[in-house]
Amino acid sequence: MAARGKAGKTKKVAVAGGKDCFQDLPEPVLELLLSFLPSRDAVRTSVLARRWRTLSKSVPALRFYPSQFDTVQAFNNFVNTLLEHRDRTSPLHECDIFPYPHGQEDEARRYVESWVQYAVSCQVYVLRVKDWSVSVYGSRLNLSSSSVISKHLTRLEFYHLAFDRSPLDLLSCQALELLDIGDCSIKLWGVFPKSLRHLKIRDSSLYSMQTPWSCFSAPGLLTFELADPHDWALFLESLPSLVTSFIRIGEDCEDNYAHYNYLGDSGNELCEDNCCVFLEGLAGATNLELISEYCMIFRKDLKWCPMFSKLKTLLPNEWCLTANFTGLLHFLQHTPILEKLTLQLPSRKDFDIVSSRSYNPAEYFLVSKHLKEVEIHCSKEDEWICQIVKILGIHGVTSAQISIKHDSWSSFRFSFQQPK
C-alpha cells in the first residue's frame, strides 16, 4: 500500500512539472486562442517556447488598443512593425483599430488608413474602427470612404469617425450583414446591399449625396435602430424584411425636417405632401418603438394611413396622445394582430389632450382580438392617465388588460437578435 501511494505521488509530481499543457494542440487552435487577445499580448507569447515564436504572425485577428502604450509613437511603431512581419497569406477574420488619441490629424489619418487598407487587402470579415481623439481633442478622424469598401466584409463598425471627403457607398459590400455607426459624421449613400440584416445609427450627422433629403433602401434589413440623428432628412422606402425597429427623433432632426418641408422638385411644394417619411417604411415590422421629443414627424405620417399588418408589440411615447389621441387610435385601428402595447409617458401633463368626457371619435372600432396587455409607464398616476384608460376602454380594452407601472423609466428597448 505504501509503495502504491508513493508511486501515485510521483506520478502527480511528474504531471505538475511535465510538458506544456498546450503542447498537443495543433497550431490552428493556438492561433485561434491568441486571436482573443490584444495583439500586443499575442506577440508577447513568442517568449514562451520555440514553437510560439512565429504564431503571432498568423493570428486570424488583429486588435490594436492604445491603452497598452505610453506614447502615440510607440503605438504606431508597434502596429507598423507587426503588419510588416505578419504572414499576409494567413486569413484575417477580425480587425479592431482603436487609434491612439492624436493631435496631428493628417499623420493619424495616413496611419489609420494604411492599417484599414491592410485589413481589407487580407479580406477581413469584421472591421471595427473607433477613434478616441474626439474626447481628447474634439475632432473626429476623417477617413476616405474607399478605404473601407470590400466584398468580403460581413460586419462594419464605426465610432467617432468622419467620412466627409467622399460619399460612403456600401452597395458593393455584397456580404455585409451588420453596420454599426456611432457618433460619426458621414456623407452616406442611402442604398444598402441586400445582404444587410442589422443596422444601427446613433447620435450621428449624416449627409445625403442625392437630394436635400435621402431615400433609404435596405431590402434585407431585419433590425433597424436610428437614435438621435443630426442634419439628415431621412425618408424610408419599403423595408419588407424588417422585424424589429427602434426610432428616436430628437430636436435636431425635427428642425431639419421642418426646414426641408418646403423643398420640393419645384422649390415651393411641401415634401410632406409627396411622401411618407417614416411609418410607411416601418409598416412591415413585428416589433416597433417610436420615440419623439416633439410631435410632428410621426403625426404627419399618419395621414397616409399605413397599415401595420405584422405588428405584435408597439411602444410609442407621448407624441401619440396629442391631437385628440390621433397616433394611439391610428395604431389601435391599423394593427390587426397587435398583442402588446406599451406607453412611455412623461411624469406630468405638459401637452394638450382632450378630456375623456369630450372625446368623440370619428368612428368607433374595437381593438385587435389578439391584444393581451397594455402597459402604461409613468412616475405617478395623474388624472390624465385615468383619461387614457377611459379612452382605451371605449375601444374595447378591459381594465384586466391594463397595467400601470409607476417608475422613472426612461427608455424601453426591444432586444435585437444580431450575429455575434
The neighbouring-strand residues paired with 180 are 157, 200
Do 47 and 106 fall within a single domain? yes
Do 253 and 123 fall within a single domain? no
Do 282 and 332 fall within a single domain? no
In a domain, residue 4? The reply is no
Gap between the Cα atoms of 283 and 335, Å rounded: 10
Do 139 and 259 fall within a single domain? no
Do 161 and 49 fall within a single domain? yes
Count of all residues that appear for the chain in the document: 420
Which residues, other chains included, contact 159 with Cβ-Cβ below 8 Å and sequence gap of 6+?
A: 128, 129, 130, 131, 182, 183, 184
Q: Using an 8 Å Cβ cutoff, are 313 and 286 in contact?
A: yes
Do 365 and 232 fall within a single domain? no
One-letter amino acid identity for 48? L
Entry pTM: 0.84
In a domain, residue 144? The reply is yes
Q: Show the domain range for 340.
A: 314-413
In a domain, residue 28? The reply is yes
Do 266 and 356 fall within a single domain? no
Do 283 and 326 fall within a single domain? no
Tell me the pLDDT of the chain (420 aa) as tens digits. 444 454 444 444 444 555 667 777 888 899 999 999 999 999 999 888 888 888 889 999 999 999 999 999 999 999 999 999 999 999 999 999 999 987 677 888 899 999 999 999 999 999 999 997 766 566 788 898 889 999 999 999 999 999 877 788 899 999 999 999 999 988 877 789 999 999 999 998 877 655 545 678 899 999 999 998 886 667 788 789 999 999 998 766 655 555 555 444 434 344 445 677 789 899 999 999 999 877 677 888 888 889 999 999 999 998 898 887 889 999 999 999 999 999 998 755 555 555 555 666 667 888 999 999 999 998 776 777 888 898 899 899 999 999 998 865 444 444 444 444
Do 248 and 170 fall within a single domain? no
Domain count, the chain: 3
Which residues, other chains included, contact 332 with Cβ-Cβ below 8 Å and sequence gap of 6+?
A: 338, 341, 365, 367, 368, 392, 395
Nearest to 278 by CA among 245, 231, 230, 321: 245
Q: Quick one: three-class SS letters along 297-358?
A: HHHHHHHHCCCCCCCCEEEECHHHHHHHHHHHHHHHHCCCCCCEEEEECCCCCCCCCCCCCC
Of 290, 311, 332, which residue sits at a domain end?
311
In a domain, residue 105? The reply is yes
In a domain, residue 58? The reply is yes
3-state class percentages of the chain: helix first, strand second, coil last, to nearest 5: 35, 20, 45
Query: What pLDDT does residue 13 have?
Result: 41
Query: What pLDDT does residue 12 have?
Result: 45
Query: What pLDDT does residue 49 have?
Result: 81
In a domain, residue 5? The reply is no
Do 215 and 239 fall within a single domain? yes
Do 138 and 277 fall within a single domain? no
Of 311, 339, 367, which residue sits at a domain end?
311
Do 35 and 115 fall within a single domain? yes
In a domain, residue 14? The reply is no
Provide the CB-side half-sphere exposure for 241 (13 A, CA).
Answer: 14
In a domain, residue 106? The reply is yes
Query: What pLDDT does residue 222 have?
Result: 97
DSSP per-residue string spanning 40-108: HHHHHGGGS-GGGTTGGGG-SEEEE-GGG-SSHHHHHHHHHHHHHHS-TTS---EEEE-PPP-S-HHHH
If one counts every other C-beta atom within 10 angstroms of the C-beta of residue 391, the result is 21
